[in-house]
């Protein structure tokens, strides 16, 4: 059942940081709760390396639905940041949804996700 934002009794801000150590698709953030909604405020990709790398992203459905591509092979230049998602985009993860990120080269990119858990 969808969470009614107007009737929320709790909004907890959180941050997740991670180094993408492989080129495999990484489930960066998921929502397995039927009583919570996850609002993604921002996703910042960081490239600390001396060479460019690409990032791709999807939103997936754990119930077997197709992934929706939200970013595809966007180049993150060496020693820069890329704001992949910002607060003005209003992305919500409902139950059994996840945001996934993939780097083109292992150990070059990291990410920081700022989000709120609403219940």
- Whether the model clears a pTM of 0.95, i.e. scores above it, the answer is no
Token pair in block for residue 119 = 């219940």
Residue 45 · residue 109 · CB < 8 Å:
yes
pLDDT, tens digit (0-9, with 9 covering 90-100), for 33-63:
999 999 999 999 999 999 999 999 999 987 6
**Other beta carbons within 10 Å of 32:** 12
The DSSP 8-state label assigned to residue 106 in this structure reads T
- Domain 12-118: assigned CATH number: 2.60.120.340
CA-wise closest residue to 110 among 85, 74, 76, 86 = 76
Q: What is the pLDDT of residue 45?
A: 98
**Which residues are bridge partners to 92 per DSSP?**
39
Nearest 10 degrees: Cα torsion 30, 74, 113, 25: 30
**Percent with pLDDT over 70 in the chain:** 97
Reply yes or no on whether the pLDDT at 65 is more than 90.
no
| Residue 16, φ and ψ in degrees, nearest 5 | -125, 130
pLDDT band at residue 66 using 50, 70 and 90 as cut-offs: confident
Q: What is the pLDDT of residue 42?
A: 97
């Amino acid at each position: 059942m969808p969470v009614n934002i107007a009737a929320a009794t709790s909004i907890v801000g959180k941050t997740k940081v991670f180094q993408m150590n492989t080129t495999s698709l990484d489930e960066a953030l998921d929502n397995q709760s039927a009583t919570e909604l996850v609002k993604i405020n921002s996703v910042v990709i960081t490239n600390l390396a001396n060479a460019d790398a690409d990032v791709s992203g999807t939103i997936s459905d754990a119930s077997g639905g197709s992934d929706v591509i939200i970013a595809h092979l966007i180049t993150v230049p060496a020693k820069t940041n890329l704001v992949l998602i910002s607060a003005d985009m209003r992305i919500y993860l409902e139950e059994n949804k996840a945001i996934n990120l993939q780097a083109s080269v292992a150990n070059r990119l990291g990410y920081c996700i700022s989000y709120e858990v609403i219940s």
